Amino acid sequence: MNADNVATGLGKVGVLFGGRSAEREISLMSGSGVLKALQDKGVDAHAFDPGQRSLADLAAEKFDRVFIALHGRYGEDGTIQGVLEQLGIPYTGPGVMASAISMDKVMTKRVWLSYGLPTPRFVVLDAKTATREELREVPDQLGLPLMLKAPHEGSTIGISKVAGYSDMQEGFNLCAKYDEVVLAEEFIRGRELTVPVLGTGRAARALPVVEIRAPQGNYDYEHKYFSNDTQYLCPAPIDDALTHRIQALAVQAFNAIGCSGWGRVDFMLRASDNEPFLLEINSSPSMTSHSLVPMSAKIDGMSYEDLCVQILKSASLALIPSENWKPA
């Protein structure tokens, strides 16, 4: 398919990236890659940074659809999705509700549990009022080591591994800087896996499983985006039956939240019995040179450029405008 055919019917496209979350740096990298890929395919794509331009500017651009390459707050949490719904501009990824839920690790786990899907045990702590005694009780409930996380952050921002009782306060203080609550989560010892999902509802399908092997198991911000020391194995070296089980679980987790278009589901595979546990879902995954969705799509036979176009084509509105509504 030539570039002209690819671009037909997509109209004027905005690529939203940058923003004002703690993940701005990564979003700039993702968006730059997406923008170039779409332009290389002949799409009339334009950069738009909500961190530097107003919502009035967004409306004035008269985009026919947008590719959301924003990460974190204000871009992945339902807020920009609500704006685009109001403006009547179709956008990539989930709608307002699914975006808000998937951005909240606590709510995500509660939804998954309501569907009987496996996720590590957890305790929710108030970032402002949790006492030292409450903190000391958490390891008794979840065991050691355990993970502390800021539930509304991504890209390993606001996360701490706690090895002993004496580490709880310091780890808690780190996470409390980023959120109103802190998620304490059971540590699953094993292999770290992730599964991209494309499509919506019954048409949603899982791409090849990726295994992440970071130095000393420390898949932090540096090792995730910048280091060349982290190993990525795709497809993950697990047997076919387990691969299919994990892929099916990824689609179930994706649909349970109400996600659409695309996303990425993160797992831990417990070493003792090869049982998979759902960690979180990313509704606007990164698209940098180190990113996992393009890596998996490549194994599936899809180039980075074709992946971007496919995601863009899935842009939609979650709400149907009334028959009397007309754009300004």
- The reported pTM is 0.92
| 45-63 pLDDT tens trace | 999 999 999 999 999 999 9
**The pLDDT value given to residue 226:** 46
Using DSSP, state whether 155 is helix, strand or coil: coil
Which range marks the domain in which residue 72 is found?
3-93
- Other Cβ atoms closer than 10 A to 143: 11
Residues 106 and 66 reside in one and the same domain: no
Mean pLDDT over 158-181 rounds to: 94
Residue 250 domain-assigned (yes or no): yes
Residue 324 domain-assigned (yes or no): no
Are 234 and 299 in contact by the 8 Å Cβ rule? The answer is yes
Residues 193 and 156 reside in one and the same domain: no
Residues 291 and 202 reside in one and the same domain: yes
Question: In the chain, how many domains are there?
Answer: 3
**DSSP letter, residue 163:** -
**pLDDT over 90 (residue 71):** yes
Residues 14 and 87 reside in one and the same domain: yes
Residues 85 and 194 reside in one and the same domain: no
CATH of the domain at 292: 3.30.470.20
Residues listed for the chain? 328
**The pLDDT value given to residue 158:** 85
Residues 84 and 9 reside in one and the same domain: yes
CATH of the domain at 71: 3.40.50.20
**The pLDDT value given to residue 123:** 98
pLDDT band at 5 (very low <50, low <70, confident <90, very high): low
Residues 217 and 289 reside in one and the same domain: yes
Residues 34 and 71 reside in one and the same domain: yes
Residue 300 domain-assigned (yes or no): yes
* DSSP H or E stretch at residue 16: strand 12-16
Are 143 and 155 in contact by the 8 Å Cβ rule? The answer is no
Residues 16 and 74 reside in one and the same domain: yes
Are 225 and 154 in contact by the 8 Å Cβ rule? The answer is no
**Helices in 19-160 by DSSP H: which ranges?**
24-40, 55-60, 79-87, 96-103, 105-114, 132-142
Residue 327 domain-assigned (yes or no): no
Residues 234 and 213 reside in one and the same domain: yes
Residues 173 and 194 reside in one and the same domain: no
**Helices in the chain by DSSP H: which ranges?**
3-7, 24-40, 55-60, 79-87, 96-103, 105-114, 132-142, 168-176, 221-225, 240-257, 292-299, 304-313
Mean pLDDT over 9-34 rounds to: 95
Mean pLDDT of the chain: 92
Helix, strand, coil distribution of the chain in percent, nearest 5: 40, 20, 40
Residue 282 domain-assigned (yes or no): yes
| 276-319 pLDDT tens trace | 999 999 999 999 878 999 999 999 999 999 999 999 999 999 87
Residue 318 domain-assigned (yes or no): no
CATH of the domain at 131: 3.30.1490.20
Task: Name the residue among 75, 60, 63 with its Cα closest to residue 20.
Answer: 75
Residue 326 domain-assigned (yes or no): no
Residues 112 and 215 reside in one and the same domain: yes
Residue 322 domain-assigned (yes or no): no
Sheet holding 12-16, edge to edge: 44-48, 12-16, 65-68
